[in-house]
Amino acid sequence: MRASKTNRRNSSESARRDFIKHAGMSLSGLALTSLLYRDGQLLSANELSGAHHRPKAKSVIWIFLIGGLSHLESFDPKPALNEYAGKTFDETPFAEQVLDQEKLNENLLDPSKQKREVYKKIMPLQVDYQACGNSGLEISNWFPGLQKQADNLCLLRGMWTIDNNHGAQLTYHTGRKITEGAFPTVGSWVSYGLGSANQNLPEYVVLGNPSADCCGAAWTHGASYLGPKHAGVRLNVDPDQPLSFVQSAVKDQSSEQQARNFNLLNKLNGLAAQEFPDDSDLKARIRSYELAFEMQTSVPDLMDFDQETAATRSLYGIDTPESQDFGRKCLAARRMAEQGVRFIQLFHGYRGNAGAWDSHRDLKKNHSTLCKQVDQPIAGLIADLKQRGMLDETMVVVGSEFGRTPGAEFRDDNSNVKGSGRDHHPHGFTVMCSGGGVQGGKIHGATDELGFHAVENRHYVTDLHATVLHQLGLDSHLLELPGRKRLESDIGEVIHDVLV
């Protein structure tokens, strides 16, 4: 009897594997692992299944500008830079507080190399700025769209981080230094804590090319020890091919043929499930194949922007060549939030190295060009969410791995770097938030007179994580996988002062 049951099990497993092999369905890459693990395969018995408290937000749109946006030429302009332009820090009243060596080194972790030089010759602001809206938020003229949204924005001007090189891109998403390897990202904690609100779509989606190999690569949207079930799934903003990792192996197979294959597969698996009701792996596989097919039918529709009005497409800058690409990503993000996707992560500025925003030279030319690509799409996203009644429940976060130095960068070994750009700056920078229960027209935190050190309401990046999680109904202190102790710095503290 035992041998007979074993033979039937082996026969059923073999039949299923043969059918899957020849049915024309191919799942590969990150999407495969995310989907196969989605419905319980290797699921921890202690995994959380819901919020810890009543949420204020339903979704987060997490926008990351790769390479290091200058806080000085965006959301934290400093008039003292124009006043003391061309002078060194030593020639200003602020030399002692800026150049204190202990203060410079206290937060930086740098076990493998010398700390970066502090460039002391002050560089003036490369763009003018305005006091905007009823709130009077000062925003640079490179962001005219966001200037109009000032009363919906919250500027966290006291941010700091631990890495003075581009490993800080990974730190921004996990809180850990790149030399420590992969750790769960904030998006993966959202997935782990809340699960899916839409059975046709992943709970954690990534749009745009992520960081390059130098700076975290797939780790910047990975889940590490939480398992691939909770990693971000990359989608293309292209209605013709939105699923680069989930597609039929038979290219000329129609959707009707695929549907018939899946129906037959479900019947076969259903028979096996009746015979082996305790086979959790089988149940997980059945659900993963169903989801794969559902994504193949639902995601292209999600990316079909012809359903939107011309006015909406214009609002996102899709009718302007400079902003068209990122505008489409922002519009896709709004449509995903409408469909219940929990965490939508957008990357801008990929170029195979440290990132387009890394302006060691020609900052004026570089940043002014890049700002035209993202300003109207982000401003349009916020305006669109508000007019649809979604801004209160959708949190938009815009940030970069660090800011840029008040001093102009000069390098003896590089004739192209001669004072027209700014170096990396982890000591103080700004993150912009909007919606999701965060106060609009709000400034929280401050850097010193030159924009060097965060000196008021200072926050490490995981405080931002804790705040995002809190608004989604999750307590960062309770998000812990058994056997994986988290550090206090991993957990962060909620920035309650900015919340409604």
Angle between helices 186-194 and 461-471 (to 10 degrees): 30
- 373-408 residues labelled b (16+ CB within 10 A) or e (exposed): bbbbbbbbbbbbbbeeebbbbbbbbbbbbbbbbbbb
pLDDT band, very low/low/confident/very high, at 281 (cuts 50, 70, 90): low
* Stretch (H or E) spanning 426: none
Strands 343-348 and 204-207: parallel
Structure token digits, residue 406? 């008040």
Note the pLDDT of residue 353: 95
Mean local confidence (pLDDT), 218-242: 88
What domains sit in the chain, N to C, each tagged with a CATH number? 1-36+256-302 (no CATH), 55-242+310-498 (3.40.720.10)
- Weakest mean pLDDT among 124-128, 161-165, 263-267: 263-267
Nearest in space to 285 (alpha carbons), one of 16, 18, 59, 47: 16
pLDDT band, very low/low/confident/very high, at 403 (cuts 50, 70, 90): very high
pLDDT band, very low/low/confident/very high, at 347 (cuts 50, 70, 90): very high
Structure token digits, residue 379? 């401003």
C-beta separation of 109 from 487 below 8 A: no
- 442-476 residues labelled b (16+ CB within 10 A) or e (exposed): bbbbbbbbbbbbbbebbbbbbbbbbbbbbbbbbeb
Rounded CA separation 296/139 (Å): 42
End-to-end CA distance of the chain: 66
pLDDT band, very low/low/confident/very high, at 278 (cuts 50, 70, 90): low
Mean local confidence (pLDDT), 293-318: 86
Note the pLDDT of residue 273: 61
Residue 248's SS3 state is strand
Q: What is the mean pLDDT of the chain?
A: 85
Q: Rounded to whole angstroms, what are the CA distances from 471 to 190, 292, 334?
A: 11, 30, 18
pLDDT band, very low/low/confident/very high, at 391 (cuts 50, 70, 90): very high
Structure token digits, residue 487? 């550090």
pLDDT band, very low/low/confident/very high, at 47 (cuts 50, 70, 90): very low
pLDDT band, very low/low/confident/very high, at 299 (cuts 50, 70, 90): confident
* Stretch (H or E) spanning 472: none
Note the pLDDT of residue 127: 98
Residue 366's SS3 state is helix
C-beta separation of 338 from 190 below 8 A: no
pTM for this prediction: 0.84
- Which residue, chain included where needed, has tokens 């409408």? 338
- Weakest mean pLDDT among 94-98, 281-285, 407-411, 468-472: 281-285
Strands 59-65 and 343-348: parallel
- Weakest mean pLDDT among 39-48, 135-144, 154-163, 264-273: 39-48
- Weakest mean pLDDT among 110-114, 154-158, 451-455, 479-483: 110-114
More confident residue, 103 or 82: 82
- Weakest mean pLDDT among 150-159, 256-265, 365-374: 256-265
For residue 172, pLDDT beyond 50: yes
* DSSP-assigned states of every residue in 166-198: TTHHHHHHHSS-GGG-----HHHHHHHHH--S-
- Angle (nearest 5°) at CA 225 between 224 and 228: 60
For residue 247, pLDDT beyond 60: no
**Beta strands per DSSP E along 270-414:** 343-348, 394-399, 403-410
- Weakest mean pLDDT among 154-158, 245-249, 410-414: 245-249
Note the pLDDT of residue 50: 77
Note the pLDDT of residue 415: 79
Rounded to a whole number of angstroms, the CA Rg of the chain reads 24
More confident residue, 480 or 258: 480
Rounded CA separation 13/43 (Å): 21
pLDDT band, very low/low/confident/very high, at 162 (cuts 50, 70, 90): very high
pLDDT band, very low/low/confident/very high, at 19 (cuts 50, 70, 90): very low
Dump pLDDT digits (tens) for 406-433.
999 998 878 788 999 999 999 999 999 9
Note the pLDDT of residue 25: 41
Rounded CA separation 227/176 (Å): 18
Note the pLDDT of residue 1: 45
* Stretch (H or E) spanning 206: strand 204-207
C-beta separation of 68 from 425 below 8 A: yes
Nearest in space to 6 (alpha carbons), one of 14, 19, 286, 268: 14
Strands 153-160 and 442-444: parallel
Note the pLDDT of residue 301: 79
Note the pLDDT of residue 452: 96
Dump pLDDT digits (tens) for 104-142.
888 786 644 446 778 999 999 999 999 999 999 999 999
Q: Measure the CA dihedral 335/385/458/363, to 10°.
A: 80
Note the pLDDT of residue 342: 96
